[in-house]
Chains A and B, each alone.
Chain A
Amino acid sequence: MKAARGQPDVAFPRPGSLPAAFFKEVTLSILDLAVQNLASPMVLFFALGVAAALIRSDLSVPEAAAKLLALYLMLAIGFKGGAEVSKSGLDPSMALTIGAGILLSFFIPLAGYFFIRMTTRLGAVDAAAVAAHYGSISIVTFVAATEIVRGLGLAYEGYLIAVAAVMETPAIVAALLLARRAAPKEQAGESMGTLLREVATNGSIVILVGAFFIGWITGERGMDMISPFIVDPFKGILCLFLLDMGLVAGRGLRQGARELSPALIAYGIYFPLVSAAFAAPVAVLLGLSVGGTALFITLAASASYIAVPAAMRLALPEANPAIYLTLSLGVTFPFNLSLGIPLYAALAQRIAG
């Protein structure tokens, strides 16, 4: 497309001017982080899983083993967060960050719904279901981000585990309100209270929050006792888990890709960036550390693909699961894992600390 004549040149700073140098530097640091991240075993094992699924290999991780790996990751990350809080002590920013997380998780679906209705042809109920996924969080994306943040030599606030746990449900409330407004007749019958209780008490939240409190109570002594189990093997187990996630994402893409229009695929990539743009100033206002800012942005930018899909099947059964599952797991998760998290970390390095 040709550039329009007479466009003001402020949008395109001359080479060598301050904004251009700044953007060049930022772009280079993001590229650097992205390349470093793409060549990490975690991302490569995920890619192997996707590739194996796409070539229809029979490679698979048994269902029960995959569940155990997920339990291990939740236990380890929860415990580490709790032990960190016991070391650093309680500070008021914990309550503030939890509050901010709840608000973000509630408002991101409203923005998500607006964007999806503007840029795609999805109907109201499908759009509300997709919006719920993007407002809620993906704990696996969060776990991968903690590893990337740690790899950059950055520390983060242990209480972000608790923030992750509370950010799972408000998005569902927002999406149900949207859907009830759009199609009130269809949405009667399902009680929101029962549904929220089920989501808030799902197994991964209980183990995550439980391990967080156990880590908090037992502190350094507890950490010394079980660190050979939860610290040393963590990266290897995360690789194995991501291999399985890659297989699942690849299979999902193979089966569900025809449900996704180019506009929806674009949404799966640009909307996490919109959420990140909402979360970044909030993290700065909260005064989070660089690592904490990167993780807080990641939480906002990630999309659920475990708890919310099951909740949406109960709350909005008319919404097509192939759309929201494929978009969240097949598009947004790989994007966040490969490019998104390095981008959020680079952003955090610029704005926080």
Chain B
Amino acid sequence: MEMHRKKRIEILLEAPAQKRLTDLLDRLDVTGYTVSPVLGGKGHHGAWSREGLPSAAGAMVSVAIVVAEERIDEVLEPVFELVRRHIGIVTVSDVMVIRGDRF
């Protein structure tokens, strides 16, 4: 099967800033993104969990985007500028997709 090389950006971000990020992605005209809730984990400040939080503060979400390799800088720079001040992790990986024209 023919496969196409793309870049996948995953942003693990604190939940209150989620809308800021997805609004930015809309403005950048990315072809799509996926938002998932994150249950918990461990980082610089120890373990955390979304369980029983009364506020969106403290919860995290994961936002995944697949973009064409030539667009990576144009998407990554404004995304990182937004995420920089918040709690989060940005990772970029190489992925293969089947329907290359979609991204």
Interface residues of A (CB under 8 A from B): 60-61, 63, 66, 244-245, 247-248, 251, 255, 305-307, 309-314, 317-318, 321-322, 325, 329
Are A61 and B86 interface neighbours, CB within 8 A? no
Residues of A within 8 A of B58 (CB): 309, 321, 325
Are B47 and A313 interface neighbours, CB within 8 A? no
> Which of chain B's residues has its CB closest to A304's CB?
B55
Are A310 and B56 interface neighbours, CB within 8 A? yes
Query: Can you give 30 A-B contacts (C-beta < 8 A)?
Result: A60-B52, A63-B51, A244-B52, A245-B54, A247-B52, A248-B52, A248-B53, A251-B51, A251-B52, A255-B46, A306-B55, A309-B55, A309-B57, A309-B58, A310-B57, A311-B16, A312-B57, A313-B14, A313-B17, A313-B86, A313-B87, A314-B17, A314-B20, A317-B17, A317-B85, A317-B86, A321-B58, A321-B87, A325-B55, A329-B54
Once bound together, how far apart are the Cα atoms of A174 and B51, in whole Å?
31
Once bound together, how far apart are the Cα atoms of A318 and B52, in whole Å?
24
Once bound together, how far apart are the Cα atoms of A251 and B58, in whole Å?
12
Residues of B within 8 A of A61 (CB): 52
Are A313 and B52 interface neighbours, CB within 8 A? no
Once bound together, how far apart are the Cα atoms of A118 and B53, in whole Å?
31
> Which of chain A's residues has its CB closest to B57's CB?
A309
B27 interface residue, CB < 8 Å from A?
A: no
A96 to chain B, nearest CB (A): 32
Residues of A within 8 A of B80 (CB): none
Residues of A within 8 A of B20 (CB): 314
Are A325 and B57 interface neighbours, CB within 8 A? yes
Residues of A within 8 A of B85 (CB): 317-318
Are B54 and A307 interface neighbours, CB within 8 A? no
From the candidates B16, B50, B54, name the one contacting A313 in the complex (CB within 8 A).
B16
Are A310 and B55 interface neighbours, CB within 8 A? yes
B33 interface residue, CB < 8 Å from A?
A: no
Are B47 and A255 interface neighbours, CB within 8 A? yes
Given A255-B46, A255-B47, A317-B86, also A305-B16 (CB < 8 A) = no
Residues of B within 8 A of A306 (CB): 54-55
Residues of A within 8 A of B54 (CB): 66, 245, 248, 305-306, 329
Once bound together, how far apart are the Cα atoms of A317 and B51, in whole Å?
22
A68 to chain B, nearest CB (A): 14
- The SS class assigned to the A binding surface is helix
Once bound together, how far apart are the Cα atoms of A248 and B50, in whole Å?
11
A3 to chain B, nearest CB (A): 45
Residues of B within 8 A of A311 (CB): 16
Once bound together, how far apart are the Cα atoms of A255 and B52, in whole Å?
13
Residues of B within 8 A of A307 (CB): 55
Residues of A within 8 A of B14 (CB): 313
Are A255 and B48 interface neighbours, CB within 8 A? yes
Residues of A within 8 A of B53 (CB): 248
Residues of A within 8 A of B48 (CB): 255
B45 interface residue, CB < 8 Å from A?
A: yes
A102 to chain B, nearest CB (A): 23
Once bound together, how far apart are the Cα atoms of A321 and B56, in whole Å?
11
Once bound together, how far apart are the Cα atoms of A247 and B53, in whole Å?
10
**CB 8 Å contact bits of B25-59 with A (1 = contact, 0 = none):** 00000000000000000000111101111111110
**CB 8 Å contact bits of B7-24 with A (1 = contact, 0 = none):** 000000011110010000
Once bound together, how far apart are the Cα atoms of A22 and B86, in whole Å?
53
Residues of B within 8 A of A321 (CB): 57-58, 87
> Which of chain B's residues has its CB closest to A198's CB?
B19
> Which of chain A's residues has its CB closest to B53's CB?
A248
Once bound together, how far apart are the Cα atoms of A128 and B84, in whole Å?
21
Q: Pick the 3 closest A-B CB pairs, nearest first.
A: A309-B57, A313-B16, A317-B85
> Which of chain B's residues has its CB closest to A60's CB?
B52
Of B50, B51, B54, which is in contact with the most chain A CB atoms at under 10 Å from its CB? B54
Question: A244-B52, A313-B16, A322-B45 given. 5 additional CB < 8 A pairs?
Answer: A63-B51, A306-B55, A321-B58, A321-B87, A325-B57
From the candidates A63, A255, A310, A325, name the one contacting B16 in the complex (CB within 8 A).
A310
**CB 8 Å contact bits of B65-87 with A (1 = contact, 0 = none):** 00000000000000000000111
